[in-house]
């Protein structure tokens, strides 16, 4: 099917309803704290109250919407599901390498919005015109303004199959490059493993690996293992909930913009390299525009369903033979050593990034951009 041009146009009635719901939020009492950390037991009540007050009174969605619509967008129906995406061609066609960038949860295509210009027209942003990409940025099925699957089975593997069809059958690229973190890492890894004749290379900013028995005994493995244990203990409650009962949580969140803001913003604070101050890295407008990709299209439940589907998807047991580049950010959820991954990935590029966390494209866009360019420069 031919890609259909698309613009994000949230109805006025949805925005009016949002403001009314924010005004009528029934806030809980703050839970008792052992210390001074207002985020100790989850989202800070005071911070979320302030964020929601700004959302209601100061946030300009129409301005954000116009910026989002400044780049060409399309809808393609693939395997019965509408996929929404930006498709922006390089300013220098002769140098263009097709690149699909895939987001995760609780992010959105907005994570990559401000990288479109530098990727497609590097010369206009202080770079080398030879590093230009044709950029494709799709919203995962069930996320943002993509369609919501009406049948089960849309885990990362099937999503990778759909995005391969998007790149080859819909957009006509015989070969293309991939980049992803979080679910985007899982999806693009599946694409690289399943379609090695089409994928030029895969760049990941989240690559999870585990040591074998001998590697785990090495002295420098200890901090990695301890961090993984801490994440498993303190940060996986969201995963278990969404992987087992996404509908129960989704009903509550679909009715409460404050609930979505608390659920998502807490993750942006905890998973980022921000020293506990989320606004040292992101503005309120950035946080809320990302949240709007869940609120406006009512996609919070369908997005959480990716966890349920992933847990039940038949593992492909893949090995990636195409070149893989890894950007390892210091505050990523789980950090791995290169040798823990090399048995299943053909890693040809590995960078220890000096700062940044889970949402690399929003948090440290210049550092991610530099590493993406450096890796794919070797494959042009």
- Report how far residue 289's alpha carbon sits from residue 273's, in angstroms, rounded to the nearest whole number: 20
- Three-state DSSP class for 86? strand
Of the residues 84, 176, 358, 371, which is catalytic? 358
- Spatial CB neighbours of 176, under 8 Å, sequence gap ≥ 6: 97, 98, 99, 100, 136, 167, 168, 198, 199, 200
Calculate ∠ Cα 172-189-177, nearest 5°: 35
CA–centroid distance for 280 within its chain: 20
- Is 114 known to be catalytic? no
Length of the chain as a residue count: 380
**Active-site residue (options: 224, 307, 349, 371):** 307
- Answer whether 101's CB lies under 8 Å from 135's CB: yes
- Residue 345 CA, chain-centre distance (Å), reads 21
How many other CB atoms are there within 10 angstroms of residue 236's CB atom? 12
DSSP assigned state of 334: S
Q: Are strands 97-102 and 176-180 parallel, antiparallel or unpaired?
A: parallel
Report d(CA 270, CA 329) in Å as an integer.
14
Residue showing tokens 């991954």: 341
- For the record, the structure tokens of 94 come out as 């002769």
Residue of 134, 182, 273, 371 with catalytic role: 182
Dist CA 224 CA 217 (whole Å): 12
358 as an active site residue: the answer is yes
The strand pairing partners of 294, in sequence order, are none
Rounded Cα–Cα distance for residues 173 and 199 (Å): 10
Q: Which residues contact 92 (CB under 8 A, 6 or more apart)?
A: 121, 123, 129, 130, 132
Strands 345-352 and 320-328: parallel
Element of type H or E holding 250: helix 246-254
> What amino acid positions are annotated as catalytic residues?
182, 307, 358
């Amino acid at each position: 099917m031919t890609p259909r041009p698309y613009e994000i146009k949230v109805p006025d009635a949805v925005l009016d309803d949002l403001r009314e719901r924010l005004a009528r939020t029934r806030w809980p009492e703050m839970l008792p704290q052992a210390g001074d950390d207002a985020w100790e037991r989850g989202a800070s009540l005071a911070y979320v109250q302030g964020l929601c007050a700004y959302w209601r009174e100061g946030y300009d969605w129409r301005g954000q919407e116009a910026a989002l619509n400044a780049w060409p967008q399309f809808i393609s129906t693939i395997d019965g599901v509408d996929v929404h995406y930006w498709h922006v061609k390089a300013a220098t066609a002769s140098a263009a390498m097709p690149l699909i960038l895939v987001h995760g949860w609780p992010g959105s295509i907005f994570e990559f919005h401000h990288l479109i210009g530098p990727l497609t027209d590097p010369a206009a942003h202080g770079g080398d015109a030879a590093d230009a990409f044709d950029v494709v940025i799709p919203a995962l099925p069930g996320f943002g303004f993509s369609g919501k699957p009406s049948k089960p089975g849309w885990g990362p593997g099937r999503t990778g199959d759909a995005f391969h069809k998007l790149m080859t059958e819909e957009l006509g690229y015989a070969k293309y490059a991939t980049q992803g973190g979080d679910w985007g890492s899982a999806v693009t890894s599946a694409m690289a493993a399943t379609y090695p004749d089409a994928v030029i290379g895969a760049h990941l900013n989240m690559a999870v690996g585990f040591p074998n028995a001998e590697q785990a005994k090495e002295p420098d493995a200890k901090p990695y293992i301890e961090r993984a244990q801490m994440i498993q203990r303190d940060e996986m409650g969201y995963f278990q909930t969404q992987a087992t009962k996404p509908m129960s949580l989704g009903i509550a969140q679909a009715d409460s913009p404050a609930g979505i803001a608390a659920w998502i913003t807490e993750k942006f604070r905890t998973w980022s390299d921000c020293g506990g101050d989320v606004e040292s890295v992101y503005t309120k407008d950035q946080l809320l525009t990302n949240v709007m990709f869940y609120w406006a299209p009512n996609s919070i439940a369908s997005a959480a369903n990716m966890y349920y589907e992933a847990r039940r998807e038949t593992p492909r047991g893949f090995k990636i033979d195409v070149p893989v580049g890894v950007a390892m950010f210091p505050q990523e959820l789980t950090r791995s050593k290169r040798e823990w991954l090399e048995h299943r990935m053909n890693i040809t590029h590995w960078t220890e990034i000096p700062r940044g966390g889970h949402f690399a494209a929003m948090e440290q866009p210049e550092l991610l951009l530099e590493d993406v360019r450096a890796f794919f420069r070797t494959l042009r």
